[in-house]
Chain A
Amino acid sequence: MAVAVRSELGAILERCAGLAEDVTYPSVRRWREDHPGGHAVGHFQVYFPEELIHAAGMLPVTLMGAGSRLEAKQADSHIGSFICSICRTSLELGFSGRVGFLDAFYTTPICDVARNLAGIWGRNFKGMTAEILYLPQNANAKQAVPYLRNEYARVLAELERIAGRPIEEADLRRSIGVYNENRRLLRELYRFKRETPWLLSTTEAYVLAKAGTVMPREDHNEILRTALAEIPNRDGRRQDRVRVVFEGGFCEQPPLDMLQLIEEACYIVDDDLLIGMRWIVDDVPETGDPLFALAESYLERSTYSSVQHDDRKPKEEMLLRRLAESGAQAVILAAAKMCEPGLDEQVAYSKTLEEKKIPFLLLDFEEKMTAFERMRMEVETFVESILFD
């Protein structure tokens, strides 16, 4: 974060970075203290319709592992050896009692490790709802939207049971409005990254976004609004740097140090980090049946990722579009270790980029990695090869 910071933005970034890295979830604990009798509901990556939780007056919390800040001491004895780190440390958050404030935990069928989490969670953490939200995996089925609308209704009924009160359509519409605003603000944040990356680094954008996963979206919207107002006033200077897209951060999140070392060599002008927060790319309609609107938006107003097959969104074409729209000239193709969807996609992407003669660098990472010397050298060499090609 080399850019000089004026006024409130520095404090906001510092606070968000703290929240993004703190596996004791101070903001959630504070919310629970401030809301006696309130409920918090956790969900695993990648996408979850948080509006349902929000409409129940509950606090949605995204569980996305714990990086190198938590050792999977207990979780390791409950899960196989060849499993990604994010699932291990997410379980450890449960076993260590760090997320004991949750009343429910949801996962989705993004991969089979994620689906297994519901069983492990349910066997070990009694008294907490542990379920799979079965997002449709045939995104092209004619009945996918009605099916999903009713699946959302099922989840909503469980949330009503936990909340002990009905959730009205008006509640849902209000929540959709709050989240539409959040998505608009995040799109604006990413516009800065694309158009003026010297004013906003990816690491900064990342912590600003990630803070939203552990606080009410109204508060997050306030943070984003303030930050967005400040960013144009920063005195960062444009540099002649290589512009890259970072692809492969859809589930397990790379360590901040890794993002920083990449940014020391080039501008990351777009990425798929925390893509679930930006999964829906346009406003969800705030009229009509809100559950239908959410279901339809998941399928019809959404971006792409390795964990969804949709014939309308061929992933290589979507990546090329991301590249073109961000004016990037190269791609960092990352994949988390042991991540089947990410590693499979890495091959497909690399073949297309090879064919199109677009420079790319393959990087394997783990959220818990702490040594980056080799990676730094790879990134620097990659960037130099583009500069001096």
Chain B
Amino acid sequence: MSVKQAHAPQLEGELVGRGRRDGNRLFKEWYAELDAAAAAGDPTAYVFVMGSAAEVLKAFDLNLVFPEINSLQMAVRKVSLDYLNKAEDYGYSTDVCGYVKADVGMHLDARKHPNGRIPKPSIVVATNMCNTYVKWVEIWQRMYGCKVFVLDIPGQRGIGWSTEPGSEQFENDRRYVQSQLEELIEACVAVTGRPFKIERLQENLAHVNRMAADWKAVLRLNQNIPAPFNAMADGLTYMGVLSAYRGTETGARYMAELREEMEHKVRLGIGTIAEERFRLHGVGPACYPYFRRFLELFQDWGAVFVSTEYLAYAGGGLDLGIQFDVERPLESLAEQLLITGRRSMSNMFFSQDQLADTVRDWKADGIVYHSVKSCRTVSTGMADSREYLTRIKDVPSLFVESDLVDPRIWSEAQFKNRIDAYFEALGARKSAALVAAKG
């Protein structure tokens, strides 16, 4: 499995859209591998997009299953309700996270996913970056008796609180994380029967270094006008590869080629729509059961999501780049997990100042907050963060609610009304600003 290796100048038609095409292909190949692993009974780890510990798990050649991606795929393929119903019939409340329920429904259906059969878990790893992860892994533990490992990454304690590597506080947290990584390695040895080879971990870290540097560059290329990709739409494919192929040569090369494509588009001024009238920053995921419609409601107004918080925290915290010191792999992994994991959590719990910076740097006209019933991690503080940014930073924003997997929560008429009203107001604001600028 490898991304197209040709680096010679290509026809523009081949280069533009390559990231999406290759991303889709890699995804199909990844699901095919999982299907084969299910048939062969190969050792498999279930992990989450935030804090997957892929660097360690891939050192043991464990297949990685991302249940969040599985549930998202069910929603995009418009079959999530079937799975949600199975879980609710089993006993899960309508108020339980839809990602969890779609996944439970799939397990109750012998792990038959629309993209292929999913292997049983040998080990499951949950970070505390979303508390529901911890409840989720308990479900698999009960179903399969698999090893559960909670990787605890202590987050930011309060507004304005930060620590730097080397400080006493940081070192206390780092020692705790590093010790857990050592225990995770012991657990992987026990589960797979395979020895731990430090050089494999070092290789994986080096791949992530390259991947993260290019991912950071890709995200920043969207600061250009027009933005070369839609962070809410195209970004989802890119981020999927980022998670599934983290720590691999394939993933690192994909990201390098994606960067090449985006640089090319920026050079030629190629955007995602004919006229980029509004630039938006998105907080929260999209409504995937109605993904196309969700995006159209914004695109119809000439709006492009130039950035999203989702790409930051659900992208495994690689948005600001990452540089592992491969000469001291475990210590460095612990440090970076702490730094990136903490930042991902801060993007949800203490997001206000960082949001204002993103709006400024990505030249966004406003923020769209999409609160989703399933995910209280990202949704709880949104309304307050919005109120704060409006009051303190005068950032115009839209607040809408639905779900990321449950089609029953979606109300298109309500969405459209609010979106239309928002853009009318945003348009008037931009016009007024232009008039004022002209003096």
Query: Which chain A residues have a beta carbon within 8 Å of chain B's beta carbons?
Result: 77-83, 87, 109-113, 115-116, 118-120, 122-124, 129-134, 136-144, 146-147, 150-151, 154, 306-307, 309, 311, 335, 337-341, 343-348, 350-351, 364
Contact = CB atoms under 8 A, between A and B. Distances in A.
Interface string B94-137: 01110010000000000000000000000000001011101101
Contacts of A87: 380
A81 B92 contact: no
Given A79-B381, A118-B349, A138-B128, 8 more contacts: A82-B379, A82-B401, A113-B376, A119-B352, A123-B352, A131-B158, A134-B154, A143-B175
A146 B352 CA distance: 32
Contact of B376 (A82, A109, A311, A346): A82
A117 B18 CA distance: 43
A85 to B, nearest CB: 12
B159 A122 contact: yes
Interface residues on B, range: 35 or more
B90 interface: yes
Contacts of A131: 157-158, 161
B381 A116 contact: yes
A138 B151 contact: yes
A343 B142 CA distance: 16
Contacts of B179: 141-143
Interface of B: 90-93, 95-97, 100, 128, 130-132, 134-135, 137-139, 142, 148-152, 154-159, 161, 169, 172-173, 175-176, 179-180, 183, 345, 348-352, 371, 373, 376-377, 379-385, 387-388, 401
B100 to A, nearest CB: 7
A318 to B, nearest CB: 13
Given A82-B95, A141-B180, A343-B95, A119 B349 contact: yes
Contact of A348 (B100, B142, B152, B377): B142
A335 B154 CA distance: 28
Contacts of B173: 147
B6 to A, nearest CB: 45
**Which 10 residue pairs of A and B lie closest in terms of their CB atoms, listed nearest first?**
A112-B377, A116-B380, A147-B176, A131-B158, A138-B152, A143-B179, A122-B159, A78-B384, A134-B154, A116-B381
A80 B155 contact: no
A341 B183 CA distance: 26
Given A134-B154, A340-B96, A340-B132, A116 B91 contact: no
A122 to B, nearest CB: 4
B384 A138 contact: no
Contacts of B92: 343-344, 347
B155 A134 contact: yes
Nearest to A347: B91
A341 B385 contact: no
A340 B135 contact: yes
Contacts of B137: 309
A111 B376 contact: yes
B376 A340 contact: yes
A344 B130 CA distance: 15
A110 B154 contact: no
Contacts of B96: 340, 343-344
A263 to B, nearest CB: 25
Contact of B159 (A109, A123, A351): A123
- Among B93, B352, B380, find the residue whose CB has the most chain A CB atoms closer than 10 A: B380
A119 B134 contact: no
Contact of B348 (A116, A123, A147, A345): A116
- Among A115, A143, A335, find the residue whose CB has the most chain B CB atoms closer than 10 A: A115
Contacts of A82: 95, 371, 373, 376, 379, 401
Nearest to B137: A309
A253 B388 CA distance: 30
A345 B352 CA distance: 33
B383 A109 contact: no
14 contacts: A79-B383, A80-B371, A130-B158, A132-B158, A134-B157, A138-B151, A138-B152, A143-B180, A309-B138, A339-B95, A343-B92, A346-B91, A347-B91, A348-B142
Given A80-B401, A147-B172, A347 B351 contact: no
Contacts of B380: 79-80, 83, 87, 112-113, 116, 120
A99 B134 CA distance: 32
Nearest to A155: B157
Contacts of B138: 309, 344, 348
A11 B428 CA distance: 65
A82 to B, nearest CB: 4
Nearest to A104: B158
- Among B158, B183, B401, find the residue whose CB has the most chain A CB atoms closer than 10 A: B158
A347 B94 CA distance: 12
- Among A113, A306, A307, A340, find the residue whose CB has the most chain B CB atoms closer than 10 A: A340
Nearest to A348: B142
A80 B150 contact: no
Contacts of B130: 112
